[in-house]
Amino acid sequence: MERYNFKKIEDKWQKFWEDNNSFSTQIDHSKKKFYCLEMFPYPSGKIHMGHVRNYTIGDVLARFKLLKGFNVLHPMGWDSFGMPAENAARQNNLDPRTWTEANISNMKSQLKKLGLSIDWNREISTCTPEYYKHQQEFFLELYDKGLVYRKEQYVNWDPVDQTVLANEQVIDGKGWRSGANVERKKLNQWFFNISKFSEKLLENLNTLDEWPNKVKVMQKNWIGKSFGCEVSFKIENSKQIKNINCFTTRPDTLFGMSFIAVSVDHPISKLYENDKEFIKFKKECSTTGTTEEAIANAEKLGFKTDLIAINPLDNDIKVPVYFANFVLMDYGLGAVFGCPAHDQRDLDFALKYDLEVNTVVRPNKTDSTFKVIDKAYTGEGYIFNSSFLNNLKCPEDSIITTIDYLEKNNLGKKQINFRLKDWGVSRQRYWGCPIPIAYDEKGNPKKIPKEMLPVKLPNIKKFETSGNPLDNLLEWKNIIIDGKKYVRETDTLDTFVDSSWYFLRFCSPKNKDYGFEESEIKYWMPVDQYIGGIEHAILHLLYSRFFMLAISDGNKKIDIDEPFKGLFTQGMVCHETYKTQDGNWLSPDEIQTIDGEKFEKKDNTKKVVVGPSESMSKSKKNIIDPEKIIQNYGADAVRLFILSDSPPEKDVQWSDEGIASSYKFIQKLWSLNQKIILEISRNHKFDSSENLEKYTNIYLKKMSDNLDSFSYNVLIANIHEMCTYLNKETSNKYTSKTLANNYNKILITLLPIIPHFASECLELNKFKINQEWPEYDEKKLIEENVKIVVQINGKKRGLLQAKRERSEKNLLLDIEKDNKLNKYLNNKKILKVVFIKNKIINIIIKQ
RNA sequence: GGGGCGAUGGCGGAAUUGGUAGACGCGUUGGUCUUAGGAACCAAUAUGGCAACAUGUGAAGGUUCGAGUCCUUUUCGCCCUACCA
């Protein structure tokens, strides 16, 4: 028997799909659309297993929807601006564009070898002027809408990469790429006014019912809405400072206040800018480590001012004002009032500086002994020691009452505060989208006129070691608009801007007038299923949601609020890690094993230390190259394996045994196919078609259900069962017609998963290649004979074959006749019978 | 500190959503064929027991005729987030 030649057959079908433009898509209003999108890759050079998993999951869905008769949009592109290109250029003295384009062409051919159903006619690349021209238009459009502005601000400066980082790109106080300690620096920056949509971005999360809850929770926390009020405190002893305003979520604890703490960056710090002690304190605050432990263990430090603040609810309560290291200028108003009894930080601070601890909330109304000593009480309870607030239920009633009082007496106002900050998009980098702005002699920004777009990124011959080469490119920097001299903005846009609208561009990839055509996004948007890694749960997804709101803001023709209707976050691909005994990482290629337990290095047979399985990464060398695997086992085997071992949303363990087993399984399916071709040609006279038809019908239901619910690992199990069943059941039992009819349907169900193999089998069987997904018949799922579980006192004691709808009474008679079952009853008194038709009978007897 | 998720054989994982726990795969064991097999095929594989049977979904309780699934408490693990006022 001829073995399955995956090389020949996979090449054949990939060529067929390409020659026939099988996956190119046009608007077709007679069909329902389905927009299936996987997060596009950064062209780093080669695809990795994470891509294989991501794009296989998406392809299964896209092909399934195509078979179901949807008009499927399944595009692919390249997130091709960004620092690696620039770094490679510096290191190897070449042009980032050349490097990027070579990578794209290599990765594209790798992706094609996976047999993905992608409409390559819609391919886009964000580093091309055809793409970023429209991004510049959007920038100016948002500028006109007041959603883009420029301000001087402290920024996170990465001294190694010589660039500004967004808050989200700073992890544990270090740059997310360079790992260098991030410094604070004041620069003029461009911002997107994302905080304008805080409420909307939060509210809309409720409408995203096809998103993982986890991602919604993460975004909710990131947006960080808190309800409270602004309270104004009079300062009684200063000419310059009359008031300090604080934001609080717990105004009801005002009577327990014993100090005010403000950030060292608070405006009142101006009063102390010449105070040597204060300067020293401020410096101390900024050098406190930013690692997790440092923050957790950081001591609360204060610098006492001579200011005295008055409690607005009781003018006799006068408290000192401190600068404190735990108050951040970034959040709220950069000032808090301290109520040590009911906030742990305030309590730590109070104990250190010997401030009063006044308990004003107690768990019970009447517990007169309750007093906070060394642990702040933040639970529910009742207010006391607080004048007009006494005995109010806390926090619900007490907060509302306090805010009412403050507002009526002009002492404060209700306020909702968000943690979400505006998005700083300026990057001091070359390889990004130029910001379409120039400055006049006075430094005022001017929009580059539309007809002068795109502002093309000039070619750079030589890269200096650091900084932005655009700064030194005078012939590009100096520009004349309407006869006047201007200097260009040399910062480029954060690459997250590029990916914030690419899903719109896919709808109209060639449109020259604008980033998209309204009629086209009206048809295709929103993305029905977006698939990618959980690492983008906040940044990319939030920015994209913002961009959609920003573009449709004030444009009634675009009524799309949310870009991604469904979101699926796939797990990572993991592999064991290996190290030499002196701690150097080893790749799986460098090691071998004899017994599967002890591992040694191939070249010198030295012992290898096997570490835990972790997400594949270059730094740990635990990577498996998809290209080699495709070469050895074929794309279908890789697709099959990457789906089979774990549910797609969980991490999957790469294993040599696993991929080998998938390969073998395809061979097994191949021999099944040969066998069935032979059986069909024999045309048996017998026909117990009912069995096969019934089986096929159940199988189709399972396949459809599991495809709909992303249970792809269970789907593969269904295929294994099918293979075993057909191998057993198809010998000498069916007429050609019955067998061909059912087998044809089964083969179609393999198309989404192992498309080359399934296409080849369809062709060999002379079945049509383009067929619709076979639907199952709901009526035929009903079995005439059913198995009834028999329980005695809730314990399973056996099974009973019975006709459908058999009554409780008759089943009891059956049980009495059954030798295995009747011994349990043994003339004992039946107290109760629980009977669920066609399912279970539970007999309760006296013991 | 706050939030989220999870815990099922040697391993990855199934379980129609309250109704036969362990589908399917890996691994292991035995067998067939073979010069040989790291190939193919067949069989077994939760635990204890010769068996009947008993036990069994991190732990303890509860609801129920019936709980992996629901409720309460608890332990452990993973992830996110963080001096957020």
Q: Which of A50-54, A191-195, A788-792 has the lowest mean pLDDT?
A: A788-792
- How far the first Cα of chain A sits from its last, in Å, is 63
- CA–C1' gap, A684 and B71, in angstroms: 59
Residues A768 and A748: their CA atoms lie apart, in Å, by 10
Residues A9 and A760: their CA atoms lie apart, in Å, by 7
- CA–C1' gap, A544 and B4, in angstroms: 23
Q: Is the pLDDT of residue A576 over 90?
A: no
CB A493 within 8 A of CB A427: yes
- CA–C1' gap, A614 and B75, in angstroms: 26
Q: Which residue is nearest to nucleotide B80 (CA to C1')?
A: A218
- CA–C1' gap, A149 and B29, in angstroms: 72
User: Is 0.90 surpassed by the pTM of this model?
Assistant: yes
User: Buried b / exposed e across A716-729, counting CB within 10 Å, b at 16+?
Assistant: bebbeebbebbeee
Q: Is the pLDDT of residue A398 over 60?
A: yes
CB A262 within 8 A of CB A304: no
Nucleotide lying nearest to A288, CA to C1' measure? B83
Nucleotide lying nearest to A334, CA to C1' measure? B85
- Protein-proximal positions, strand B, CB < 7 A: 2-5, 12-15, 19-21, 23-28, 39-42, 54, 65-67, 79-85
Nucleotide lying nearest to A417, CA to C1' measure? B84
Residues above pLDDT 70, as percent of chain A: 96
In tens, the pLDDT along A643-688 reads: 999 999 999 999 999 999 999 999 999 999 999 998 898 878 777 7
Nucleotide lying nearest to A840, CA to C1' measure? B19
Q: Is the pLDDT of residue A162 over 50?
A: yes
- CA–C1' gap, A596 and B45, in angstroms: 20
Average pLDDT over every residue of A132-140: 97
Residue A167: pLDDT band with limits 50, 70, 90: low
- CA–C1' gap, A789 and B46, in angstroms: 21
Nucleotide lying nearest to A832, CA to C1' measure? B65
- CA–C1' gap, A694 and B75, in angstroms: 48
Nucleotide lying nearest to A724, CA to C1' measure? B24
The tokens describing A74, both together, are: 């399944």
- CA–C1' gap, A214 and B3, in angstroms: 10
Strand partners for A432: none
Residue A293: pLDDT band with limits 50, 70, 90: very low
Per-residue model confidence (pLDDT) at position A290: 47
Could you count the other beta carbons within 10 Å of the beta carbon of residue A484? 11
Closest to A189 in 3D by CA, of A501, A486, A435, A480? A435
- CA–C1' gap, A219 and B56, in angstroms: 41
ipTM for the whole complex: 0.94
The beta strand positions in A354-483, using DSSP E, are 361-362, 381-383, 393-394, 412-417, 423-424, 426-427, 437-439, 445-447, 478-481
Q: Which residue has the tokens 């306090």?
A: A402
Q: Which residue is nearest to nucleotide B83 (CA to C1')?
A: A326
Per-residue model confidence (pLDDT) at position A339: 94
Nucleotide lying nearest to A720, CA to C1' measure? B24
- CA–C1' gap, A210 and B19, in angstroms: 30
In tens, the pLDDT along A437-495 reads: 999 999 999 999 999 989 999 988 777 656 678 888 888 999 999 999 999 999 999 99
- CA–C1' gap, A291 and B53, in angstroms: 59
Instruction: List C-alpha distances in Å: A596 to A434, A589, A600, A656.
Output: 55, 15, 11, 12
Q: Which residue is nearest to nucleotide B21 (CA to C1')?
A: A796
Q: Which residue is nearest to nucleotide B24 (CA to C1')?
A: A717
* Element housing A796 (H / E): strand A795-803
Q: Which residue has the tokens 């300067």?
A: A279
Residue A21: strand, helix, or coil: coil
Residue A266, exposed/middle/buried by CB under 10 A (0-12, 13-18, 19+)? middle
- CA–C1' gap, A616 and B27, in angstroms: 23
Residues A568 and A556: their CA atoms lie apart, in Å, by 30
- CA–C1' gap, A721 and B30, in angstroms: 24
Residues A682 and A685: their CA atoms lie apart, in Å, by 9
Nucleotide lying nearest to A796, CA to C1' measure? B20
Helix ranges (H only) for A194-237 are 198-204, 213-223
Could you count the other beta carbons within 10 Å of the beta carbon of residue A464? 11
Residue A328 has phi, psi (to 5 degrees) of -105, 135
Task: Using alpha carbons only, give the angle A344, A347, A352 rounded to the nearest 5 degrees.
Answer: 130
Closest to A723 in 3D by CA, of A690, A741, A747, A755? A747
Residue A551: strand, helix, or coil: helix
The beta strand positions in A86-215, using DSSP E, are 124-125, 148-158, 163-165, 170-171, 174-175, 183-192
Residues A211 and A198: their CA atoms lie apart, in Å, by 19
Residue A597: pLDDT band with limits 50, 70, 90: low
Nucleotide lying nearest to A705, CA to C1' measure? B16
Residues A248 and A227: their CA atoms lie apart, in Å, by 8
- CA–C1' gap, A597 and B10, in angstroms: 13
Residues A666 and A823: their CA atoms lie apart, in Å, by 49
Q: Is the pLDDT of residue A760 over 90?
A: yes
Strand partners for A843: A792, A833
Average pLDDT over every residue of A1-16: 91
- CA–C1' gap, A798 and B69, in angstroms: 22
Nucleotide lying nearest to A668, CA to C1' measure? B40
Q: At what angle do helices A6-19 and A96-113 cross, to 10 degrees?
A: 110
CB A63 within 8 A of CB A398: no
Residues A99 and A83: their CA atoms lie apart, in Å, by 12
* Element housing A521 (H / E): helix A518-524
The residues near A735 (Cβ < 8 Å, ≥ 6 apart) are A683, A684, A685, A686, A687, A689
- CA–C1' gap, A793 and B69, in angstroms: 20
Closest to A640 in 3D by CA, of A672, A665, A607, A612? A665
Helix ranges (H only) for A337-455 are 344-353, 396-408
Per-residue model confidence (pLDDT) at position A720: 95
Nucleotide lying nearest to A326, CA to C1' measure? B83
Residue A692 has phi, psi (to 5 degrees) of -65, -40
In tens, the pLDDT along A344-358 reads: 889 999 999 999 999
Residue A788: strand, helix, or coil: strand
Q: Which residue is nearest to nucleotide B14 (CA to C1')?
A: A714
Nucleotide lying nearest to A595, CA to C1' measure? B38
In tens, the pLDDT along A827-844 reads: 778 888 889 888 899 988
Q: Is the pLDDT of residue A116 over 60?
A: yes
